Amino acid sequence: MAKKAVPRQLANGFGGGTIYYPTNAGGCGLLGGIAVIPGYVSYESSIKWWGPRLASWGFVVITIDTNSIYDDPDSRAAQLSAALDHMLRDNTVGAQIDSTRLGAIGWSMGGGGALQLATKRQTVRAIIPQTPYHDKDYGEMNTPALFITCQNDRIASNKKYSSRFYDKATGAKMKIEIKNGSHFCPSYRFNEILLSKPGIAWMHRYINGDTRFDQFLCSNDNYGNNPRISAYDYKTAHKQGTHEKSTYKLGTDKQSAGQSLT
């Protein structure tokens, strides 16, 4: 894996960042591209860990700063889109990316931006909103979405935001709630491995259409026995507007699975 800095002065439509990309993917065809954005009054450092983690699993990833730390979710959606465009034009990685297989990850207002982007850009095939916040109607969202939530979120409460967004989503969707987690739980270093497993699997399953990763999403073996997860739900899109439900009661199965997906 390698990385490339994107200075703020060379970034068109966002605040600069870092591109991470695999160096051993020759002969593997075009790769999916993913943009990652932080939340309100936060910086690239809070979400940067997603870059090397996803790049090591075959994605080209850009983690970014925003134009202003005070930008609202709609602005963050536009900046995610601009960052994806930057990667597609980049003279180092652009030729490696399939422009029809894109994804986005956002934390807090960045999560709201990812939801908004998914309604505007059809080539975005999967998103990961982390403790998402959005105070406007962003329309119908049917892009596959992995919601990462925190049990004790006092800033963007699950009841007011994440749960409502999750219920409203009409595509494939998954929700993982971190036990006793605050609003900042997705940015804590010690949650990196915990969140990597579903995050990597989600992007491979829905950006690349690789059904081999279903086993890391739909089984209680993966999440039900982890004492750090307080809630888990997964619904696959069966037909537009309907779901094939795969919801598991936590703590009912003692076997483990997919431990290598980190």
Phi-psi region at 180: left, alpha or beta (left = phi > 0; alpha = psi -120 to 50): left
pLDDT at 89: 98
pLDDT at 22: 95
pLDDT at 226: 82
Is 108 labeled as catalytic in the residue annotation? Answer: yes
Fold of 2-246: Rossmann fold (3.40.50)
- In the chain, DSSP finds a helix count (H) and a strand count (E) of 6, 10
pLDDT at 260: 59
Q: What is the C-alpha to C-alpha distance for residues 7 and 16, in angstroms, rounded to an integer?
A: 5
pLDDT at 219: 66
pLDDT at 220: 65
Neighbours of 5 (CB within 10 A): 9
Strand partners, 245: 235
Residues in the chain where the model's pLDDT stays below 50: 239-259
Neighbours of 239 (CB within 10 A): 7
SS3 label, residue 133: coil
Of 42, 46, 75, 108, which residue is the catalytic one? 108
Listed by start position, the domains of the chain span 2-246
pLDDT at 238: 54
User: Is the Cβ–Cβ distance between 217 and 182 less than 8 Å?
Assistant: no
SS3 label, residue 130: strand
pLDDT at 239: 46
Q: What is the C-alpha to C-alpha distance for residues 159 and 162, in angstroms, rounded to an integer?
A: 7
User: Is the Cβ–Cβ distance between 51 and 105 less than 8 Å?
Assistant: no
pLDDT at 27: 75
pLDDT at 45: 95
Q: What is the C-alpha to C-alpha distance for residues 170 and 161, in angstroms, rounded to an integer?
A: 16
Which amino acid, one-letter code, is at 176?
Answer: I
pTM (predicted TM-score): 0.90
